[in-house]
Amino acid sequence: MLTRKALVTGYAGFLGRHLARGLRAEGFQVRVLLHRHTVPQTDFHQEVDDVIWGSIEDEDTIRRAVAGVQVVVHSAWSHTPSLAPRPTVNERAAELIINESVRAGVGWFVFISSVAVYGMRARPDAAGILESSALAEGEERNFIYPAEKIQVEHILRRYQRNGTKLGIFRPGPIFDDRKSPIKKLARMAGRSFAIGFGNGRNRMPYIHASDVVNAVVKWLKNVREDAVFNVTPTQNLRVKDWYRNWGKANGQSVTPLFVRPSVIRLLFLGVKLLKRILGRKSSADVNYALASATRDLIYSNAAIQRQLVWVDEVTARYIKPEFAQPQMTRIAMLSLSYYPNDPRVRRQAETLARDGMAVDILCLRGNGEDRFERFGQISVYRILKGSNKESLLQYLWLSTKFMIAAFLSLNRLHFKRRYRLIQVHNLPDYLVLAAMVQKLLGIPIILDLHDLSVELFESKWPCRVSGILGATLKIIERLSCGLAKQLITTSTGFRNRLLARGIPPEKITLILNTADDRIFKERLPRQFKKIEYGARLLYHGTVAPRFGLTIAIAALAQLQNSIPESTLHIFGKYDPSHRRELEAQIETLGLSDRFFFGAYLSLEEISQIISQSDIGIVPYQSDAFMDLALSTKTFEYVAMRLPVVASRLPSLTAIFDASSLQYFAPGNASDLADKIADFCLHPERRQDFVNRAATVYQQIAWPIMAQRYFNLITTQINGLTRPWKNRQFVY
């Protein structure tokens, strides 16, 4: 099935961004409609595939936005003053979008409505308000927000039976792990106070944004007919209990405080009078705000549970956190890297989170990154600002500071979170010392050896690693491996080297760095055509001398003779001095217009680049380290059926034979150029190589590695293994 393209309106808002993330993670190509005055603060280019700039009321903008999409998710909503003339901006925009969607042949139209359409008055519905229940009427229709939602639903229904399936979703008030349902959270004297309206004893249908996204995704995947769904929790708590539980789930003790409606009315009158004195208009509707905050209603979600097999899985964790939290297995990861940029740490953390575990990651902080960020059940603590580590002294200084910061942060968090297991990602090996308190408490420590430090240091700083320093590295590696209960390594070469150093085989688990199958997957069938001009070559990852980019540049210069105008795009993390060397080499060869140096990209972004490239190159040099290491980028290229030309190194040939990857002699630019030209001129040969590589890769793909990793974790925690649930990740 071809990838469907979805338009999401309201991306600059709270729920719109959740919807865009969730749809994209489910394989949709996401287009968003943005007004230049409401651009989100984050780098949205990493989360969407396409942007249409313009107003939601502009006919030409909407026509361009819906062109070529199969799904429209309309979540945009503007604040409307209570006395605004009708039709309002929201009503006019909805009419325009549904009209253009039907004209463009859009297959599915989703509208995010609200349970506010039922009004705020108490009802006798014992089983809860159903989708077929009467909507707000009488004086309640004077409240502008529910009145607009009701009117938009009426507008959309007029376009039913025009070939476009209509899904109307009515969620309760929406929250997530960072945006709480609490009106105002104040801190005083070391305590947290949740301030709300009313008395806190009324039931409120708060729903987590992830559950709303999952409902929309399920309908889009299983839709057979038009539908209206309440998206509400199965169990409705009282407001004061919601406040307490949200605090518990986020490690806070929250004391609810509620302001009586009469006090709110007096304050509102005072503000209104002050604004009038200052010559300003007041658009707030205090009656609706109070009615909304103090309503006491139950909404039935039986229809969505029955028809879509939907459950409020994420919201349910906030219902009884005092019971749910002890059952949730908590794991801490330490990594001298950046999250979510480190693909291995991200894959493993999401593997555990999809099974219901909570993962805390202690890592470096990059420019513009928050000190704390939550991705569903993954909490990221960026405990130290990252810095350059190109030289040996810079690396040792940064890694030592990080180890100390990790030791302090881990112990502070542990006595709140009660971790069941600690996983330490090297480098450095001695980062395992940060978990010594947990080791003494009997908590299992796993050391994930991304690289072998002795061989890597010899490759990276050959003139510095000798004598005393080399011996010290070997001692540190031996002690670190001894302190860990289990080791993970990333290649057969690394495993064999560890066995040769006396590590027991039962202590080592091999988990290859294969690609995340949810991100690196073929979107459209790749076309294999003869390339006689302008081949698009790709390299991404670390850019340092051992990765052979000087060979690639020399090869590209020779390739111009057989495949003119060929280009090489490089995306990655650069050693600054080596980048200057590469730029000087390119200038000398007169190839400035044939190269593109790009920044480090997210996994989602690099997958898009791979799909647009012709050949991926892996030009690694041969040395004591590179002969053992496995290239993650090779797995990512193979997973997306991109032909690969790679150095003939033992680590790769042990997995992919010469009929799967096009190998060239390491360090030989002429051989690399010849192999690229051969691939370009023989499309059937490229296709045969891609097919055989894909067959081999299926035996080691990430779902298989994920189960192996999950078995290791559960064995260390419980002494038992079980199938990995692989539930949908919470966005």
Output the domain CATH number for residue 452.
3.40.50.2000
User: Do 657 and 610 share a structural domain?
Assistant: yes
Q: What is the mean pLDDT of residues 504-524?
A: 90
User: Do 510 and 573 share a structural domain?
Assistant: no
In a domain, 35, yes or no: no
Q: Smallest Cα–Cα separation from 98: which of 132, 122, 73?
A: 73
The answer to whether the peptide bond before residue 87 is cis (omega within 30 degrees of 0) is yes
User: Do 444 and 420 share a structural domain?
Assistant: yes
Q: Smallest Cα–Cα separation from 395: which of 458, 333, 336?
A: 336
User: Do 510 and 404 share a structural domain?
Assistant: yes
Q: What is the mean pLDDT of residues 367-377?
A: 87
User: Do 459 and 396 share a structural domain?
Assistant: yes
In a domain, 457, yes or no: yes
In a domain, 478, yes or no: yes
User: Do 585 and 458 share a structural domain?
Assistant: no
Q: Which of 30-34, 41-45, 323-327, 465-469 has the highest mean pLDDT?
A: 30-34
E strand or H helix that includes residue 673: helix 669-681
Please answer whether residues 8 and 31 qualify as being in contact, where contact means their C-beta atoms are separated by less than 8 angstroms.
yes
- Of the pLDDT bands very low, low, confident and very high (cuts 50, 70, 90), residue 500 is very high
Within 8 A by CB and 6+ apart from 168, the residues are 110, 111, 113, 153, 156, 227, 228, 229
Q: Left if phi > 0, otherwise alpha if psi is -120 to 50, otherwise beta: which for 161?
A: left
In a domain, 285, yes or no: no
Q: What is the mean pLDDT of residues 97-111?
A: 94
pLDDT (0 to 100) of residue 324: 40
pLDDT digits (tens, 9 = 90+) for 381-410: 999 999 887 788 899 999 999 999 999 999
In a domain, 657, yes or no: yes
Query: How far is it, in rounded angstroms, from Cα 544 to Cα 389?
Result: 12
Within 8 A by CB and 6+ apart from 365, the residues are 338, 371, 382, 383, 384, 385, 386
The distance from CA 253 to its chain's CA centroid, rounded to whole angstroms, is 29
In a domain, 185, yes or no: no
**Residues of the domain holding 477:** 328-514+710-718
pLDDT digits (tens, 9 = 90+) for 150-188: 999 999 999 877 789 999 999 999 988 777 777 677 766
pLDDT (0 to 100) of residue 332: 97
User: Do 497 and 466 share a structural domain?
Assistant: yes
Output the CA torsion 557→562→567→571 (10° steps).
Answer: -70
In a domain, 56, yes or no: no
User: Do 688 and 652 share a structural domain?
Assistant: yes
Q: Is the pLDDT of residue 19 over 70?
A: yes
pLDDT (0 to 100) of residue 320: 66
Q: What is the mean pLDDT of residues 572-582?
A: 91
User: Do 562 and 502 share a structural domain?
Assistant: no
User: Do 544 and 493 share a structural domain?
Assistant: no
* pLDDT higher at 487 or 251: 487
Query: How far is it, in rounded angstroms, from Cα 621 to Cα 585?
Result: 17
Candidate from 49-53, 133-137, 370-374, 718-722 with smallest mean pLDDT: 718-722
- Of the pLDDT bands very low, low, confident and very high (cuts 50, 70, 90), residue 724 is low
Q: Beta 254-259 vs 615-618: how paired, if at all? A: unpaired
- Of the pLDDT bands very low, low, confident and very high (cuts 50, 70, 90), residue 266 is confident
Please answer whether residues 619 and 502 qualify as being in contact, where contact means their C-beta atoms are separated by less than 8 angstroms.
no
Q: Is the pLDDT of residue 286 over 70?
A: no
pTM: 0.60
Give me the percent of the chain exceeding a pLDDT of 70.
90
Q: What are phi and psi of 314, to 5 degrees?
A: -75, -45
Residue in the block written with tokens 């060979």: 551
Burial of 306 (0-12, 13-18, 19+ CB in 10 A): exposed
Average pLDDT of the chain is 87
User: Do 500 and 547 share a structural domain?
Assistant: no
Burial of 449 (0-12, 13-18, 19+ CB in 10 A): buried
User: Do 500 and 540 share a structural domain?
Assistant: no
In a domain, 320, yes or no: no
Q: What is the mean pLDDT of residues 340-350?
A: 92
Number of separate domains in the chain: 2
pLDDT (0 to 100) of residue 9: 94
pLDDT digits (tens, 9 = 90+) for 182-212: 767 776 655 678 887 777 888 889 999 999 9
